[in-house]
Amino acid sequence: MAWLRSLRGAPLALLIRARVVEFLREPEAIFWMLVFPILMSSALAVAFRSQPAEPVLVGVEAGVHAEPRRAALEAAGQVVATVVPREQARQALRAGKVALVVLATDPPTYWYDPTRPESRMARLEADQALQRAAGRADAFQPAALEMTERGSRYIDFLVPGLLGMNLMMTGLWAIGFAIVQQRIGKLMKLFAAAPVRRWHLLVTHLGARLVFLAIEVVALLLFACLVLDVPIAGSIAALALVVVVGALSFVGMGLLIASRPRTLEGVSGLTNLAQFPMWIFSGIFFSTERFPDAIQPFIQALPLTALNDALRGVMLEGATLAALAPELAVMAAWGVASFALALKLFRWQ
């Protein structure tokens, strides 16, 4: 047991313990780390729960053809049509209350926003219904097969993204604020004069982050698996490694961001600047494939993109560590480079 007593008295272990105790004294930090991701997962699970397809809302401009067209659209079974004057139809289309307006021309004119997916779908549904009412016959009747298996739902896609987002936010904000607060309170200057190595003071934040990592990740994954029925197709060991590498990469970034600022406003601005591109481009709420090919190299180089892709690979596809080597390399590179720069640039007073 001598090694255990020596560990308890080691400067690094004592510093990690102090950081953990300091964090536990901040109830709001615990809320954002544990409660917030579960609340967000619950809200989004309700919003995107499995349910029958919603009907398409279509406006029909008042005129001589309005009632026959409304009846033909309603007969299709997937369209809810309303006869409205042209100005009212324009306002409804602008406000998103209808996805399409069928104008009172002969043949009909479809008025819609081509940038909205629901408008494009409404155009297809409306055209099909009106063409059939005009006498067009289908060459064949296709069969339909709906995908409902676990891992294919939106909530299954979303949970790994929320987990990655939470690891990013706690890694950047918790580390950055803690360091700047210590600098403002002159504690950093005292730590630098203490009989410990300076790199110990930075590694302390890595160690404290690992202590809370297990609680944070396990809480969200248990909720996702038990309540939302989100699958984990891959191995727990692979998932744990991905989480640890991802979390440490953001801790390194947090240390780098906090290496120079002397005010909370300064570190807040830099943190927002760092996380803003990842919020948008890294595939938290939707696939990164929605963005143009020209910026895909930039997107794939972001650490949150690599983390989200790796989490989804393990949880939804059962990917092995060998298959995730590129993502792990991106995260490790960000972590190592950020920590090295933070150690070199760090302001101790």
Kindly state whether residues 39 and 65 are assigned to the same domain.
no
Kindly state whether residues 41 and 70 are assigned to the same domain.
no
Give the pLDDT confidence of 63-76 residue by residue, as tens digits.
Answer: 888 999 999 988 87
CATH at residue 113: 3.40.190.10
Report the Cα 231 to chain-centroid distance in Å. 17
What's the rounded Cα separation, in Å, for the pair 303 and 164? 10
Would you say residue 65 lies in a domain?
Answer: yes
Lowest pLDDT segment from 107-111, 193-197, 267-271? 193-197
Report the pLDDT value the prediction gives residue 20, as an integer from 0 to 100.
65
Would you say residue 84 lies in a domain?
Answer: yes
**Which residue, of 82, 105, 133, is where some domain finishes?**
133
pLDDT band at residue 311 using 50, 70 and 90 as cut-offs? very high
Would you say residue 141 lies in a domain?
Answer: no
CB 104 within 8 A of CB 63: yes
**What is the count of structural domains for the chain?**
2
As a whole-number percent, the residues of the chain with pLDDT over 70 amount to 77
Q: Where are the beta strands (DSSP E) in 168-318?
A: none
Kindly state whether residues 206 and 304 are assigned to the same domain.
yes
Of 258, 257, 273, give the one whose Cα is nearest residue 183.
258
Q: Compute the half-sphere exposure of residue 96: CA atoms within 13 Å on the CB side of its CA.
A: 4
Would you say residue 143 lies in a domain?
Answer: no
Report the pLDDT value the prediction gives residue 75, as an integer from 0 to 100.
86
Answer whether residue 9 shows pLDDT above 60. no
Kindly state whether residues 104 and 248 are assigned to the same domain.
no
Lowest pLDDT segment from 84-98, 116-130, 147-161? 147-161
Kindly state whether residues 127 and 276 are assigned to the same domain.
no
> What residues contact residue 103 under an 8 Å CB cut-off, 6+ apart?
61, 86, 109, 110, 111
CB 147 within 8 A of CB 156: no
Would you say residue 265 lies in a domain?
Answer: yes
Mean of per-residue pLDDT scores for the chain: 81
Containing structural domain, residue 199: 12-48+153-345
**Which residue, of 73, 98, 133, is where some domain finishes?**
133
Highest average pLDDT, of 149-158, 206-215, 219-228, 323-332, comes from: 323-332
What's the rounded Cα separation, in Å, for the pair 69 and 71? 5
What's the rounded Cα separation, in Å, for the pair 97 and 156? 29
Q: Give the mean pLDDT of 91-113.
A: 90
pLDDT band at residue 230 using 50, 70 and 90 as cut-offs? confident
Q: Residue 229 corresponds to which tokens in the numbers above? A: 């029925």
Report the pLDDT value the prediction gives residue 88, as an integer from 0 to 100.
92
Tell me if residue 138 falls in helix, strand or coil: coil
Answer whether residue 308 shows pLDDT above 90. yes
Would you say residue 140 lies in a domain?
Answer: no
Would you say residue 79 lies in a domain?
Answer: yes
Would you say residue 320 lies in a domain?
Answer: yes
Of 201, 144, 282, 176, give the one whose Cα is nearest residue 16.
201
Kindly state whether residues 259 and 327 are assigned to the same domain.
yes
Q: Where are the beta strands (DSSP E) in 68-193?
A: 79-84, 100-103, 109-111
Kindly state whether residues 85 and 194 are assigned to the same domain.
no
Kindly state whether residues 64 and 197 are assigned to the same domain.
no
Q: Residue 159 corresponds to which tokens in the numbers above? A: 């949970």
212-222 in b/e burial notation, b at 16+ Cβ within 10 A?
A: bbeebbeebbe
**Which residue, of 71, 98, 133, is where some domain finishes?**
133
